[in-house]
Amino acid sequence: MRRFVVVMLIVVLSITGFLIFNRKQARIVNLLTDQMNLQENERGMVEQAHELSIKNLMKGNYSGSDIVIEQKLESGSNYKRYIASYKSEGLKIYALLTVPNGPVPRSPKGEVGWPVVIFNHGYIPPAEYQTTERYIAYTDGFSRNGYIVFRSDYRGHGSSEGEATGGYGSNNYTIDILNAVESMKKYKDADPNRIGMWGHSMGGFITLRNMVVSKDIKAGVIWAGVVASYPDLINNWRRRNFSPPPGIPSRALSWRNQLINQYGSPEENPEFWNSISANSFLKDISGPLQLHHGTEDSSVPVLFSEKLEEQIKAAGKTVELYKYEGDDHNIGNNFNIAMQRSVEFFDKYLK
């Protein structure tokens, strides 16, 4: 009998100890799980709050300002030319503004105002940039065909206030254009419901980001655009001369290393890199997009435009791609046909 009692006591103590151990173990597991979830949530919040994140851009406040005419320039063939300015995050940003001659038209929907093309230029060394130089034939192509054209001098370019930080490691230029759109919506001769956007090279990158953030851009055209996702920019962009990509001064190349050091490589942390890529938000694109690219472009591979075309189609959105055999980054050999197609595209969706 005594032996039975001893055995039962050992059994009870064993069970009690086991339960206590399991409870402690469960408590430890729960604490570890809670800590991991907290870290994961904090990481997700950091990623979403990162300056480059598309969701962060979508939450931004872009009020723009009234457009101020700073200087009247020599007129074009059938349009007036001005140097104008507007505000972006408190900075005074200058721009080239062209306005067609003649009475302000009325749209098929009854709204009064000229259709607008927001013009995003590619990389030009900020110290060399001047409002009235470069892209003259490009802006003229839209100006003489009945469009207000607004070509922003991104911050740090020409007389614009602020620092030129490059197009890819900062959203500053993208924000300047989001404010340009809002400013143009206030302009007395513009139809706020007929705004399109054109971009070349780095300007194509800015155009794509604007179009997944702003619903006010009804159609877009991109020539030789840097329209790849960030993982592709990191892994699949190697220029022949190994010089910095358009829009990235050599001193600013550290944005790649900074992001990789903080968030890991695209292979290690694809969620973060997708969160900052406009390509991951193509279901939000605001309107049809037309792409142009020369097959011998040594600055930006035609593969970027080809891949974007596939991605936009997969998202169920409208896209056109024109490739120009043997042509370069500026589509110089096929400029006239590319410009004609661009104007016709805007005519289709904005007029």
Residue 49 lies in a domain: no
Give tens-digit pLDDT for 242-260: 445 555 454 445 778 888 9
Residue 2 lies in a domain: no
How many domains does the structure of the chain reveal?
A: 1
| Dihedral, CA of residue 228, residue 233, residue 238 and residue 241, to nearest 10 | 90
Residue 216 lies in a domain: yes
Instruction: Enter the pTM of the model.
Output: 0.83
Residue 39 lies in a domain: no
Residue 156 lies in a domain: yes
Residue 263 lies in a domain: yes
Beta bridge partners of 86: 93
Residue 196 lies in a domain: yes
Domain coverage including residue 346: 60-350
CATH code where residue 166 lies:
3.40.50.1820
Residue 36 lies in a domain: no
C-alpha distances in Å from residue 232, one per residue of 55, 107, 180, 191, 303: 20, 41, 28, 37, 10
| pLDDT reading at 30 higher than 70 | no
**Do 99 and 80 touch, CB atoms closer than 8 A?**
yes
**Do 315 and 285 touch, CB atoms closer than 8 A?**
yes
Mean pLDDT lowest among 236-245, 260-269, 276-285:
236-245
Residue-by-residue DSSP string for 208-268 = HHHHHH-TTEEEEEEES-----HHHHHHS---TT-PPPTT--GGGTHHHHHHHHHH--TTT
Give tens-digit pLDDT for 151-169: 999 999 999 999 999 999 9
Burial of 19 (0-12, 13-18, 19+ CB in 10 A): exposed
